Structure 1
């Protein structure tokens, strides 16, 4: 299948941002007296919109405060507890050389996504970055960032676009926006999660993802 417009999730797909996100979540929840969460529980903060993740543990009235405390930690320290997955840079380089148009579609704040991509010298590969907007929970929902990326790409033939991501939220969001999806198995979602969500294809490694998308 010849896809011309390639969309990528950021956390758990391009970079292993889990440590910083988990520490930020742990700090924010700890400020409400919620401590001792397992690593598996904290891993669930990698990928989904924060408003959904914190709502599992907090009253709705406290969710925004938790998000603010999460972001304070992440801006200061957490964003550096992060690194590109081995093979991702080479994958992006080859796809760019092949003439693919590439966009990041992430629930992370767009400003922070750009900061991370710039820090790791990955911005050069992307034609656009679409992410969350402070004080607008709807903007960061996966289906909405995917739709924004498709508009930026002026993509009207949705069969020519595909989203790669590591969580069920990526698969559901891509499908809701009308495009196909690839579930990457080197991130934070399990094979079972991605298959149950209906991923159109799976990639074990960035090298396998490259072979699929070329």
Structure 2
């Protein structure tokens, strides 16, 4: 694996911010609103990161009910999505990469307006050249978001010859590989037991990630 990357994409939930409590709470509230069974916390944690359409489908819901659940979840999530804080050290890493001239983008399954608002709320919006997120379309996936992020960076003139995505879940791994870029997994997020097995490398700490991403001499 090359240790020189021309651009870096970051997943948000579980990679930049510790959002599991908010996301799991939104799932509980949504399912409760519809009088549906609420899974245990272990299962709910697996839905931190995947597209909502997948998550509610995985819970066994389809058709109009799934669409209604997705819509209600978004209403519930809107009340608290700005609450999560960055993991220790991540904020400084993002700014240091930005000041070193590394092109940065988000690649998140949350919808783009929410991703923009969250990065602005955290004071991180200006660290990124591109803030890319999902669309309401059920066909929107981590793969389509990654593709968009790389395309938008390239359109700005950034060097996208050797991009990499940093993420905490199997969705980041699959999405990155489907687009044809390597994946750095992070150990502080919400990966399932084998979720990062196919990542090119896994960094257990932010300092490990810094050592991989910072350009030589910075």
Q: Deviations over 1:172-208 (max 9, x none)?
A: 100100101001110000463201xx10011112221
Unaligned runs of 5+ in 1: none
Kept in 1, the 8 Å contact 2:146–2:179? The answer is yes
Alignment of 1:88-167 (within 5 A): 88-134=90-136, 136-139=137-140, 141-154=141-154, 160-167=162-169
Once the two structures are TM-superposed, the CA of residue 38 in structure 1 deviates from its matched residue by 1.0
Distance 1:29 1:7 in 2: 32
Match of 1:73 among 76, 91, 98: 76
Distance 2:104 2:82 in 1: 24
| TM-score with structure 1 setting the length | 0.92
Distance 1:209 1:191 in 2: 20
What does residue 211 of structure 1 align with? 211
Worse overlay, 176-185 or 25-34: 25-34
Measured at CA, do residues 99 and 35 of structure 1 come closer, stay the same or move farther in structure 2, by a change above 3 Å? Answer: same
Q: Deviations over 1:76-119 (max 9, x none)?
A: 2x213311101001111211121100000111111011111111
Kept in 2, the 8 Å contact 1:20–1:80? The answer is no
Unaligned runs of 5+ in 2: none
SS in 1 for 2:195: helix
Kept in 1, the 8 Å contact 2:10–2:167? The answer is yes
Distance 1:133 1:159 in 2: 26
Distance 1:120 1:188 in 2: 21
Kept in 2, the 8 Å contact 1:159–1:180? The answer is no
Kept in 2, the 8 Å contact 1:182–1:199? The answer is yes
Once the two structures are TM-superposed, the CA of residue 159 in structure 1 deviates from its matched residue by 5.0
Measured at CA, do residues 69 and 52 of structure 1 come closer, stay the same or move farther in structure 2, by a change above 3 Å? Answer: same
Superposed CA RMSD in Å reads 1.6
Greater than 6 Å deviation, 4+ residue runs? none
Give the count of matched residue pairs. Answer: 209
Distance 1:143 1:36 in 2: 29
Distance 1:17 1:128 in 2: 21
